[in-house]
Structure 1
Amino acid sequence: MSIESMNKNHSLRLESLRQLISSFKGWGFLVPYSNCFQNEYMADCDHRLQWLTGFKGSAGLVIVLANHAALFVDGRYTVQAPQEVETRNFSVEPYSVDSIEKWLSQHSPAGQVLLYDSWLYTVQQISSYKKHLDPLGITLEPCDDNLIDAVWVDRPVRPCEPFVPHPDEFSGKSFKNKLEPILASMKLKSLDYMIMTNPESISWLLNMRSNDTPFTPSCQAFLIIDHGGGVQAFTDLKKVTQDVRNHSGDPVSWCEFKQFLDVVSSFSTKKVRVDFGQLPQKILDCLRHAKAEVLHETDPCILGRALKNDVEQAGAIAAQERDSIAVINFLAWLERSYQNKKITELDTVAELLKQRQKQTYFQGESFSTISAVGPHAAIVHYHPDPLTNTILSEDAIYLLDSGGQYLDGTTDTTRTIALGQPTDEQKDRFTRVLKGHIALASIIFPDGTTGQQLDVLARQFLWHVGLDYEHSTGHGIGSYLNVHEGPQRIGKGGHGAVLQPGMLVTNEPGYYKAGEYGIRIESVLLVIPLNSNFLGFKTLTLIPIDRMLMDVSLLTKQEIEWINAYHDKIFTKLSSKVDEQSTGWLQEATKPIKFSESSLKNG
């Protein structure tokens, strides 16, 4: 089989994988969107699922059996996935453990073995799968090597970018100060070691960044912390410069990644703390073989990096302001250009990047820009490419979801723009999304509140007319780290973390009509203390919301006052900072809306 054939024909790739599964005496093989670090954004060499199926989303699972195969995706990708994969090869199914169990019960007889790469699954994931598959008589069995790698004949080389120290002027807290409470906790619980495998936590703790993966400047490494304060960092040592060694100091000894399992294998009878939600099953198997005493606790750095200190908060505010300037300059350019020139979705991506590159501290995009016009906007995570690239036409809705990585913060924002005259339906849907956005941004809530409790605020006006959206309403954001960060979130499912002062979270309700248009309004919020044990949100994003798409008759007086105050704040803060040719556009975009009692509808 030629390399060219393997690269172009997913059917051939699937057949090659099936032959290998059979040679290993397996009935099937699990192919997750994952690597050993559980990165959201991965290097090209880790995109096994995309190589096999053609699916370009950032979450999913493929199960390949002898005669059937399925791609499991969440609600963000239900429109996108069938467009990208050959559905004669892969059925597209909802991504949940219950759905996986149901599908396997229909296609896999009892007594069969499913192979998997134990580096790519966390302990928690495997435990959940086994709970659902054991009653079906299906056995999960790890294989020594990933079967995809054996048939991926021209797999890209793994990147090897150097680590870069992240100065205290941006982090606000030294590595030593971050390590102290971890060591105190280990001493209290008589732990010998703590193993860390999450790149964002490790980057935050060490005050290091890197560019090994797209969009997220995290360091691909594992850490072992011992009770005496020593830290072993395992990575490709070609990434570790003398500046990095000087910055990390004496507590950190740098080791080759291939030494990691050998060190873990020596932990006989040692008490070791891990996080089963992050730890690859491969490492737990090694610890058990060594007869270590394993204690599961949540990674302490997750909450530490979510609670932005004063320096990180100031950086987030500054980064959001600069990013807003870039987006305003872009929107002004778009207004001037799209009617007279054949502007495409990819043209807008390039222009927006150019505007961001003008801003201080800009390092790169925080995710692949979603630049979507018309029906493409109904695909929640659509990304234009040369095959799908479309000209922005009049009388269409344009959705732009984008973000930047700055040394002092990470940004994420969405605005939906009317190109020409929107329909009454589009204005109705947009205004209901806007009302939900305002309700969430304005809420005052008591200590102890979770994002799940607030989610209904953003959906209520869509629910009034029997509509909804499939994604969550908000996610946390890192500080020059991952644009999607926990533990806080705003959404229907799960319990989520309690919202606390210093946390960042997005506010992004939406509406999507498949095949026609999509709407989303997204801003970044900072949780702030108010009084008497109550909290609120401060909106950091400073980008106008398109008045052309508003049905003002659906807005209350209070909602109009919120919009006017928000737009006045934008103009006051940024009118002297945007490009000269953008000032007129900004002035028009932030004009106050007039309120009239007589024009109100019952929305």
Structure 2
Amino acid sequence: MTNWQSFDPPEAGQNRSARLAALRAQMADAGLDAFIVPRADAHQGEYVAPSEARLAWLTGFTGSAGFAIVTATTAGVFIDGRYRVQVRAEVDAADYTPVNWPETKPADWLRQALPGGGRVGFDPWLHTRSEIESLEQGLGGAGIGLIAVERNLVDAIWPDRPAPPVGAARIHDESLAGETAASRRARLAETLREAGQTAALLTLPDSISWLLNIRGSDIPRNPVVQSFAVLSDSGELALFADAAKFDPMVRAHLGNQVSILPPDALTAALRDLPGPVRLDPQTAPEAAFRILTEAGTEIARDRDPAILPKARKTAAELSGMAAAHRRDGAAIVRLLAWLDAQDPAKLTEIDVVQRLEQERRAEGALDISFDTICGAGPNGAIIHYRVTEATNRTLSPDQILLLDSGGQYADGTTDITRTISLGAAPDAARAPYTAVLRGLIAISRTRFPTGVAGAHIDALARQFLWAQGLDYDHGTGHGVGAALCVHEGPVRISRISTLPLESGMILSNEPGYYREGAFGIRLENLIAVTPAQSEPGREMLGFDTLTLCPFDRRLIDASVMSPTETEWLNTYHQHVRTELSPLLDGAARDWLIRQTHPLT
């Protein structure tokens, strides 16, 4: 077993009823009728440190998005379409009721749970201003008040809560970033001056890590330094983080214009800031807004100044991502060649995950970019399935395997999904697999004018599934960081994303289909937004594919594919062969050549 991923099952839930009872006692003592327990930490990151995993500790639900609302008599765990199978396996139905979200809004649920009105407690450090405003608006006229608590009620009943992480920071070399940290600070400071703002509070660790050209080890899979920062319009920056994270070399890299202060100094520093201070209502905690308001400081509601510059990758970042994908592609091909040569009945999901992590490590991966999703048969239908010793399934030649994984390299971050037939392709899977593949190709081939957003092209990936009466309950693509977080905002390909796509942005392209109790299908490549051939006066963009790995020919129904789709697939496979052949030898290279022959 590697040390990259723990396969221990989630903590047994025999004492979760006692935890729920203890929380309700805390609510009664505080005069609260309900309390909200989010998945998020104060930084609003997707992944949280063990010390911040309140939702999992209380309920047993381990997904990367969701929240719970607890009243004196009922408790709901709110989950989106990715987790509706998983939540039923992880939470005790005697204590918690899964709630389909966002179809059911928390305000509507609270109106039903508290028909006579009441007081709903929340931790202002764990919710953004936008979240609280939306909830307040939804509760208007219901006689339900939102009460900010000084100490989180879950923390009060968590006796062995882990300490905050103190992972070592490291320098992210300028050759990989394509710009110095001083230049980035100066560029964002100019943005503040142009807007008439004196300072900005940065709360997203990936924004701060990008800005300072540093990487960290506080959060598994995400090489960020957990911290807050205040950037002034002069370019000076106050970094609020444990000083133990920074050795002398990193301190020298940060320079004299960056000061390191303890995390608990943030509140006082915010009170002393002259305004206007830039706060992003989508990412900054409600507590920051309250601190500045109480101090009488003018607040400028504006986007995190780093979030869009970070999404527009530099030439060096794009080059690093391409190089990382070549090595990652070699690792995946070696894994798939090995898997094809095995008797699947002698392997388990964990065996595949361990072997893949070993192949990535051999290619220089520093970590995996998220816990590998390796679901055989019905486990593949759990969209964000995570194998444990308790759920580990033996493979079977009559099933398909969904393998979604990624690596963190010094020069880039990868994320790839392939769905693999473990024997003869099941008839029931061929039509949806081909529809998913055609959707991926449609996104890959599209050209679009500037100003087009993810919402405008999301349907391209779904059209062939829709024609069969099928669909999937997740977005088609998320932003990806360059040697940073595998899920990076704010750009997405989804029905609700209105942010225009820009050259240099990197996204995933991952349509899917899931048949509960039977199988899951997802295919994913990473794509970079690039300039495309344009007519005069009409600037166009398109996508370049970064991921290098064949698709499983056994699952493709070539008879329904158009000539242009077949041409794209054959060209892609030839490109994969050209790029990866020099990195492979023996059985893996032979396997690659067989898998990349033209589809006829």
- Which 4+ residue blocks in structure 1 deviate beyond 4 angstroms? none
Deviations 1:325-351 (A, max 9, x none): 111111111111234x62111111111
Structure 2 counterpart of 1:428, one-letter code:
A
Q: Which residue of 2 aligns with 1:535?
A: 541
1:390 aligns with 2:389: no
Worse-superposed segment, 158-167 or 100-109:
100-109
Structure 1: distance between partners of 2:250 and 2:103: 42
- Does the 8 Å contact 2:13/2:60 carry over to 1? no
- Aligned match of 1:327 in 329, 332, 340? 332
Q: 1:592 and 1:6, CA in 2 relative to 1: closer, same or farther beyond 3 A?
A: closer
Worse-superposed segment, 106-115 or 310-319:
106-115
Q: 1:7 and 1:240, CA in 2 relative to 1: closer, same or farther beyond 3 A?
A: farther
Worse-superposed segment, 307-316 or 192-201:
192-201
Structure 1 counterpart of 2:295, one-letter code:
A
Give the count of matched residue pairs.
586
Q: 1:554 and 1:117, CA in 2 relative to 1: closer, same or farther beyond 3 A?
A: same
Q: Which residue of 2 aligns with 1:504?
A: 506
Deviations 1:178-207 (A, max 9, x none): 112222222233322221111111000000
Q: Tell me the secondary structure at the aligned position of residue 346 of structure 2.
A: coil
- Aligned match of 2:455 in 452, 461, 466? 452
Task: Specify every segment of 5 or more residues in structure 2 that has no aligned partner in the other structure, as ranges.
Answer: 1-10
- Does the 8 Å contact 2:177/2:316 carry over to 1? yes
Structure 1: distance between partners of 2:140 and 2:180: 47
Deviations 1:376-409 (A, max 9, x none): 0000000100100011111101000000111111
Deviation at 1:321, TM superposition (A): 1.0
Mapping for residues 45-444 of structure 1, pairs under 5 Å: 45-96=51-102, 98-267=104-273, 270-339=275-344, 342-360=346-364, 362-444=365-447
Deviation at 1:36, TM superposition (A): 0.7
Structure 1: distance between partners of 2:598 and 2:105: 49
Deviation at 1:134, TM superposition (A): 2.6
- Does the 8 Å contact 1:327/1:543 carry over to 2? yes
Q: 1:187 and 1:329, CA in 2 relative to 1: closer, same or farther beyond 3 A?
A: same
Deviation at 1:548, TM superposition (A): 0.3
Structure 1: distance between partners of 2:576 and 2:193: 50
Deviations 1:223-275 (A, max 9, x none): 112233321111111112211110011110111111111111223x6321111
Worse-superposed segment, 182-191 or 24-33:
182-191
Mapping for residues 463-482 of structure 1, pairs under 5 Å: 463-482=466-485
Deviation at 1:418, TM superposition (A): 0.6
Deviation at 1:6, TM superposition (A): 9.7
Worse-superposed segment, 452-461 or 551-560:
551-560
Deviations 1:66-105 (A, max 9, x none): 0000000011011111111111211111222853222212
- Does the 8 Å contact 2:491/2:497 carry over to 1? no
- Does the 8 Å contact 1:373/1:392 carry over to 2? yes
Deviation at 1:304, TM superposition (A): 0.6
- Does the 8 Å contact 2:444/2:543 carry over to 1? yes
Q: Which residue of 1 aligns with 2:6?
A: none
- Does the 8 Å contact 1:93/1:99 carry over to 2? no
Structure 1: distance between partners of 2:585 and 2:114: 61
- Aligned match of 2:495 in 492, 495, 501? 492
Q: Which residue of 2 aligns with 1:35?
A: 41
Mapping for residues 15-26 of structure 1, pairs under 5 Å: 15-26=21-32
Deviations 1:454-481 (A, max 9, x none): 1111100011111100100011100111
Structure 1 counterpart of 2:102, one-letter code:
S
- Does the 8 Å contact 1:345/1:392 carry over to 2? yes
- Does the 8 Å contact 1:6/1:12 carry over to 2? no
Deviation at 1:412, TM superposition (A): 0.4
- Does the 8 Å contact 1:506/1:524 carry over to 2? yes
- Does the 8 Å contact 1:97/1:129 carry over to 2? no
Q: Tell me the secondary structure at the aligned position of residue 533 of structure 2.
A: coil
Deviation at 1:109, TM superposition (A): 2.8
Worse-superposed segment, 186-195 or 483-492:
186-195
Structure 1: distance between partners of 2:199 and 2:540: 39
Q: Which residue of 1 aligns with 2:8?
A: none
Q: Which residue of 1 aligns with 2:464?
A: 461
Structure 1: distance between partners of 2:426 and 2:396: 15
Task: Specify every segment of 5 or more residues in structure 1 that has no aligned partner in the other structure, as ranges.
Answer: 595-603
Q: Which residue of 2 aligns with 1:600?
A: none
Deviation at 1:138, TM superposition (A): 0.9
Q: Which residue of 1 aligns with 2:4?
A: none
- TM (normalized to structure 2)? 0.95
Q: Tell me the secondary structure at the aligned position of residue 216 of structure 1.
A: coil
Structure 2: distance between partners of 1:244 and 1:110: 56
Deviations 1:482-516 (A, max 9, x none): 10112221111242x21111111111000000110
Deviations 1:123-179 (A, max 9, x none): 111111111113221111011111111111211222211211111011111111111
Structure 1: distance between partners of 2:460 and 2:331: 30
Q: Tell me the secondary structure at the aligned position of residue 582 of structure 2.
A: coil
Worse-superposed segment, 481-490 or 53-62:
481-490
- Does the 8 Å contact 2:125/2:285 carry over to 1? yes
Q: Tell me the secondary structure at the aligned position of residue 531 of structure 1.
A: strand
Q: Which residue of 2 aligns with 1:598?
A: none
- Does the 8 Å contact 2:455/2:495 carry over to 1? yes
- TM (normalized to structure 1)? 0.95
Deviation at 1:423, TM superposition (A): 2.7
Q: 1:580 and 1:135, CA in 2 relative to 1: closer, same or farther beyond 3 A?
A: farther
